């Protein structure tokens, strides 16, 4: 079973919906440019991106004076790319994968290691080979450090990474046993990294390194396969397991379709994953061109980063000062989403977890600063209801009559309707 493709050409509301999900939001001009086009063609086009970053990014983490400053500048540099980069879907996916292959700056504070991790996520954002993606992440110094995999030695296996590889990165809970975790840890012994260790070397690069005499070369049994399995074998077996297709497909549906996905649609994407041997690009192209994708409106509660980035992009990407962007990165954290610092290795739960009292109050304060405050950005044009809410006629119309454009914009930004994508 495959997802049914959207048969009509994109309407204005279709185009607005697509940009809210794949670019955090868009201007009226960006929406109109997509109207009348074929959904599959547009999906394929948006999934075509490279590794170029915005040239005028004012934040240079490599110039940081301390590990803490390096982390703050790394967050701000990423937020700048999210706000102003020319490849927003790549960054939507990078944010999505950062909540799947989780690392955290509570343990990973090395600037080049964090940069390599982000670049790895960007490089594999719409990968055609999920197994290769999983292996590259597994051997990244960021992951080795975060889950203590660099301490995994023959005779003293550390099970942290082996457990999360199965529970959180590939199959999900259910298809494996505790014995699989133990045998996987044995196979992964000897993996480590060299360079960049300690607070004094937070600007020094690190690289994956295999210590052969610390590897347990004995026979193992893992997810039904037996032999002298290596770490690479274990990652490959887990990443290509049938259950991984469903687990990853569900993550993608949560990111792009609904906080509570339709399990039949998830399984359709999982079948595409299996048929293509883990081709995420193929899964996404089918999903973003499907009738199911376009039928699920207002089904995702915007997280703090999506709310901030979506607002700035919908307002036409007015240029903010570096200090304002640093403050926005902190504001996102106070709302519950520090970039590169999910709450646990499980990642942010999302959904209703985003809308506590404190988070909603902060959204109101942010909306006021962007619309009513003395330093609010000057907008060339006011966004229409189509850009803000995805509908050509606002459901808030009766409440906003007689208000100034700034007041209408403020009330829209704090509305429940705007908080949904």
* Residue 134 within any structural domain of the chain: no
pLDDT at 393: 84
Residues 340 and 252 in one domain: no
- From 295, 312, 340, the end of a domain falls on 295
Burial tier of 333 (Cβ tally within 10 Å: 0-12, 13-18, 19+): middle
pLDDT at 397: 80
For residues 397 and 330, membership in a common domain is answered with: yes
Residue 380: what pLDDT?
Answer: 86
- The candidate with the shortest Cα–Cα distance to 48, out of 106, 16, 90, is 90
Question: Is residue 206 assigned to a domain?
Answer: no
Q: 135 in a domain, yes or no?
A: no
Domain membership of residue 17 as a residue range: 12-46+242-295
Q: Could you tell me if 272 and 313 lie in one domain?
A: no
Q: Distance between CA 290 and CA 294 in Å, rounded? A: 7
Q: Write down how long the chain is.
A: 421
**Residues in a beta bridge with 210:** 191
User: Is the same domain home to 282 and 318?
Assistant: no
Q: For the chain, how many structural domains are there in total?
A: 2
Q: Are 238 and 170 in contact (CB under 8 A)?
A: yes
Q: How far is CA 63 from each of CA 12, 66, 141, 203, 340, rounded to the nearest angstrom?
A: 45, 9, 21, 9, 19
Examine the domain organization and report whether 329 and 261 are in the same domain: no
- The gap from C-alpha 267 to its chain's centroid, in whole angstroms, comes to 21
Residues 6+ apart with CB under 8 A from 16: 26, 31, 386, 387, 390, 391
Q: What is the pLDDT along the chain (421 residues), one digit of tens a residue?
A: 789 999 999 999 999 999 999 999 999 999 999 999 999 999 999 999 999 999 999 999 999 999 999 999 999 999 999 999 999 999 999 999 999 999 999 999 999 999 999 999 999 999 999 999 999 999 999 999 999 999 999 999 999 999 999 999 999 999 999 999 999 999 999 999 999 999 999 999 999 999 999 999 999 999 999 999 999 999 999 999 999 999 999 999 999 999 999 999 999 999 999 999 999 999 999 999 999 999 999 999 999 999 999 999 999 999 999 999 999 999 999 999 999 999 999 999 999 999 999 999 999 999 999 999 889 999 989 999 999 999 988 788 877 888 999 999 999 999 999 999 9
Domain end (from 261, 295, 329): 295
Evaluate whether residue 232 is within a structural domain: no
Same domain, 256 and 320: no
Check residue 392 and give its pLDDT: 86
In this prediction, residue 402 carries a pLDDT of 85
């Amino acid at each position: 079973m495959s997802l049914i493709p959207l048969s009509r050409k994109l309407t204005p509301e279709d185009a607005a919906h697509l940009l809210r999900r794949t670019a955090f939001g868009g201007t009226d001009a960006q929406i109109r440019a997509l109207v009348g086009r074929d959904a599959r063609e547009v999906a394929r086009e948006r999934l075509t991106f490279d590794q170029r970053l915005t040239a005028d990014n004012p934040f240079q983490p490599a110039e940081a004076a301390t590990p803490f400053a390096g982390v703050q500048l790394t967050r701000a540099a990423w937020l700048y790319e999210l706000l102003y980069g020319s490849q927003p879907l790549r960054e939507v996916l990078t944010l999505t994968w950062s909540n799947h292959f989780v690392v955290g700056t509570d343990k990973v504070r090395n600037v080049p290691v964090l940069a390599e991790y982000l670049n790895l996520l960007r490089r594999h954002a719409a990968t055609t080979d999920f197994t290769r993606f999983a292996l590259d992440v597994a051997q990244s110094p960021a992951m080795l450090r975060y889950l203590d995999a660099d301490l995994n030695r023959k005779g003293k296996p550390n099970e942290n990474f082996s457990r999360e590889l199965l529970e959180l990165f590939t199959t999900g809970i259910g298809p494996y046993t505790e014995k699989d975790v133990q045998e996987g840890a044995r196979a992964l012994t000897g993996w480590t990294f060299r360079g960049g260790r300690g607070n004094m070397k937070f600007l020094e690069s690190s690289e994956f390194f295999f210590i052969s005499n610390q590897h347990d070369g004995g026979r193992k049994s893992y997810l039904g396969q037996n032999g002298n399995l290596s770490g690479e074998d274990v990652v490959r077996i887990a990443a290509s397991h049938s259950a991984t297709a469903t687990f990853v497909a569900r993550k993608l549906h949560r990111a792009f379709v609904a906080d509570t996905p339709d399990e039949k649609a998830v399984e359709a994407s999982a079948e595409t994953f299996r048929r293509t041997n883990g081709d995420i690009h193929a899964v996404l192209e089918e999903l973003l061109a499907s009738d199911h994708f376009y039928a699920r409106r207002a089904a995702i509660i915007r997280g703090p980063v999506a709310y901030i980035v979506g607002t700035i992009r919908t307002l036409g990407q007015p240029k903010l000062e570096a200090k304002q962007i640093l403050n926005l990165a902190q504001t996102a954290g106070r709302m519950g989403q520090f970039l590169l610092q999910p709450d646990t290795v499980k990642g942010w739960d999302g959904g209703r977890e985003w809308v506590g009292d404190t988070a909603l109050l902060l959204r109101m304060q942010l909306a006021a600063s962007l619309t009513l405050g003395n330093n609010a950005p000057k907008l060339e044009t006011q966004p229409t209801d189509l850009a803000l809410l995805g509908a050509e006629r606002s459901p808030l119309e009766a409440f906003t009559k007689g208000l100034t454009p700034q007041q209408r914009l403020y009330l829209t930004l704090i509305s429940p309707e705007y908080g949904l994508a």
